[in-house]
Amino acid sequence: MAAWQTFHPMDRHGRIRAYLTETDTTTMTQASRYRYAWLFIGCLLASAAHAAEPVATPPAATLRVVVEGKPVVFDRAALAALPHISVTAATHDEKPALWAGVGLDELLRCAGALDKPLRGRGLARFVRVTAMDHYQAVFALAELDPSISRTTVVLADVRDGQPLTSDGPFRLVVPSDKRPARWVRGVTTIEVVDAATSGGP
């Protein structure tokens, strides 16, 4: 095989002129092969590493609470600033876990739905909770009023001291329910609806 090598003859003015000449150097050819092989492997590894990188950073987790048609958006920082409670409860056949988060009654109070004890028309309202996958669950607003009911519902973002991952970022926990059917995972929207004007849930 041929390789290219540089030599520098003198021109008639005594100046060096650079030329390339073809020489037969088997050792150089083998070295070049090894070098290009390693370069090729390096490119493959770099491509694989690039493909493994995430395409985009997921948006920050937010929760939308709608009261009388007016939405209030809570991000993690806003929720972290609210009073937190902890409950111990189990889902299905799993062992009990310690869940921590904001009481749903406290969240609704901040949004203007439970800023005072319910009476009259307020007793006909219900709360509809919607998940990322469009799963929904409903609570009577009176269930969540501490002046009427002892029911505790937590919008949890921590389980056993760790942030929720697959079930999160926010999940409802209802310890008093016999089945976790209303333990909505991946909560995105909480709406307060007037049953008298909506025609029912």
DSSP of the chain, one letter per residue? --EEEEE--B-TTS-B--EEEEE--HHHHHHHHHHHHHHHHHHHHHHHHHHHS-SSPPPPPEEEEEETTEEEEEEHHHHHTS-EEEEEE--TTSPPEEEEEEEHHHHHHHHTSSSS---GGGGGEEEEEEETT--EEEEEGGGG-TTT-----EEEEEETTEE-STT-S-EEE-TTSSSGGG--BSEEEEEEEEHHHHS--
The amino acid sitting at 110 is C
Say if residue 199 is exposed, middle or buried (CB neighbours under 10 Å; 0-12, 13-18, 19+): exposed
Structure confidence by residue, pLDDT tens digits, 186-197: 999 999 999 987
What pLDDT, on the 0 to 100 scale, is given for residue 60? 57
What pLDDT, on the 0 to 100 scale, is given for residue 165? 85
Confidence (pTM): 0.68
pLDDT tens series, the chain, 201 aa: 444 444 344 444 444 444 343 444 444 455 455 554 554 454 444 444 434 444 333 345 899 999 999 999 999 999 999 999 999 999 887 899 999 999 999 999 999 999 899 999 899 999 999 999 999 999 999 999 999 999 999 999 999 999 998 888 999 999 999 999 999 999 999 999 999 876 544
Structure confidence by residue, pLDDT tens digits, 103-148: 999 999 999 999 899 999 899 999 999 999 999 999 999 999 999 9
Q: 62-198 has which CATH code?
A: 3.90.420.10
Share of residues in the chain with pLDDT > 70 (%): 68
d(CA 59, CA 86): 27
d(CA 198, CA 147): 25
